[in-house]
Structure 1
Amino acid sequence: MTGILGMEGLSTAQVQEELRRGGRFVVFEYCVSCLVTTMRRSSDVYFVRAGQGTFCLSLGYTLLSLLLGWWGIPWGFIYTPLCLSTNLHGGKDVTELVVASLLAPRYDPSIGY
């Protein structure tokens, strides 16, 4: 299991135990605008252990949106509060999607499926 921040050094069994205890996978949103162009994007996926807060994880994305999100007309004024709300409420929970993708069968070109 790689490519997900916060899972470094954890075994599959440890991740499963954390998920049973309330751990989750989340993404944070950010918004960057420049007059007529506004981009709303998601962060990489973070693994948040049971009982771990997300404020520090979301802080950079929240500050980026606060500083650079408002400057697009009209979408900056629409997307920035949405991003801030998502981040301040703990991020967007993508646990079901991540677990499903981790459990999905992988294509193996050597055997044709």
Structure 2
Amino acid sequence: MTMLDNALGLSADALRLRAQRLDVIAGNIANAATPGFKARDLDADAALARLQTARNGGFGSELASQLGDIRYRAALVPSLDGNTVEMATEQAAFAENAVKYRASLGFLTGRIQTIMSALKGGE
């Protein structure tokens, strides 16, 4: 791990995974009317837990992209055209992930400001 990885902790990886999940969910919403489209999702919380375990074992943040497995989501109410996108589920997932993205961004911003302050001598 580099010194920057140590300083930023999981914040940068969390932000990357949350952004990736937002992209996946946005793709689901965009294809809500596409026949045969299968909704996908990324379990960012599980990926972050695995990444934390890997970091504790001495592995770097380069594992973040490998740990974010995108999987198909099963539909609660299947549609006749084979599309598994359910707008209520997607909107709820998007809103929840957006809040977590903002929190991750806030943590990362705070860490960067602390590092900048330390580099400037505590100004």
Greater RCO (Cα-Cα under 8 Å, separation 6 or more): 2
Q: Which has the higher helix share?
A: 2
Structure (1 or 2) with the larger CA radius of gyration? 2
Q: Which has the higher strand share?
A: 1
TM-score by shorter chain over 0.5: no
TM class by shorter chain equals: under 0.3
TM-score between the two structures when normalised by the length of structure 2: 0.25
TM-score between the two structures when normalised by the length of structure 1: 0.27
